[in-house]
């Protein structure tokens, strides 16, 4: 199977300690906090769409080319909790800025409650999210099963018909959500927070 990919321009420093990155299992995928979202100002939480089935451009390291990837929502393996990070940075414990609570499938999306830690260094991020200045979310995870469809080809995968456009389309049918991150720009324009 092909090697790992990450959104164009997205630093992959958070995964450098993972040996299976080179085996193509880890991915980062940007999204945006959407809905309209519900904010609990006292509880420091916001509802967010953290992943959709919109194709997102990713860089495929082994081939050195940009491809499109879809994370199929029904194939997501979700735990009741995951860390909420600042820009996928796993370099230090203080880069965990909160928690991703109760991730769940809603149609062809993954939604979750994002809870921000009540500590001084997280407060500036929380205030920017709360006030609508930061809206993008990016998910990171482990790819388990996927199929690459060559450009211009059509293929049925898991009972659904997929069409690759001008580039390879990677259809990831089984994946594990490992974290979500607050980022400045998201690759998946539908995965976001929209404060109300």
pTM (predicted TM-score): 0.80
Instruction: Annotate 125-143 with DSSP letters as a single string.
Output: HHHHHHTTS--EEEEEEEE
User: What contacts 16, CB < 8 A, 6 or more positions away?
Assistant: none
- Give the pLDDT confidence score for residue 63 in this predicted structure: 87
Query: Quick check: 162 pLDDT over 90?
Result: yes
Please report which confidence band the pLDDT of residue 91 belongs to, taking 50, 70 and 90 as the band edges: confident
- Give the pLDDT confidence score for residue 186 in this predicted structure: 66
Task: State the burial class of residue 145 (Cβ atoms within 10 Å of its Cβ: 0-12, 13-18, 19+).
Answer: middle
CA 76 to each of CA 62, 83, 109, 142: distance values in angstroms, whole numbers, following the listed order:
25, 16, 10, 10
Strand partners of residue 51? 110
Tens of pLDDT, residues 22-34: 445 777 776 655 4
Please state whether beta strands 169-183 and 136-149 pair in parallel, antiparallel, or not at all (unpaired): antiparallel
Query: Quick check: 20 pLDDT over 60?
Result: no
- Give the pLDDT confidence score for residue 185 in this predicted structure: 77
The mean pLDDT of 106-134, rounded to a whole number, is 95
- Give the pLDDT confidence score for residue 59 in this predicted structure: 83
């Amino acid at each position: 199977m092909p090697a790992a990919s990450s959104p164009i321009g997205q630093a992959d420093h958070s995964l450098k300690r993972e040996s299976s990155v080179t085996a193509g299992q880890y991915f980062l995928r940007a999204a945006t906090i959407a809905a309209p979202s519900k904010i609990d100002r006292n509880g420091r939480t916001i509802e967010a769409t953290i992943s959709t089935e919109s194709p997102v451009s990713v860089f495929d390291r082994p081939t050195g080319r940009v491809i499109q990837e879809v994370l199929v929502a029904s194939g997501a393996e979700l735990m009741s909790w995951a860390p909420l990070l600042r820009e996928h940075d796993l370099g230090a414990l203080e880069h965990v800025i909160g928690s991703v609570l109760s991730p769940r499938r809603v149609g062809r999306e993954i939604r979750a409650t994002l809870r921000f830690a009540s500590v001084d260094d997280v407060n500036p991020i929380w205030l920017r999210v709360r006030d609508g200045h930061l809206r993008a979310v990016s998910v990171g995870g482990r790819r388990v099963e996927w199929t690459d469809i060559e450009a211009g080809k059509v293929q049925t995968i898991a009972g659904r018909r997929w069409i690759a456009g001008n580039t390879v389309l990677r259809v990831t049918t089984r994946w594990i959500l490992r974290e979500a991150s607050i980022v400045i720009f998201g690759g998946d324009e539908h995965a976001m927070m929209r404060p109300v």
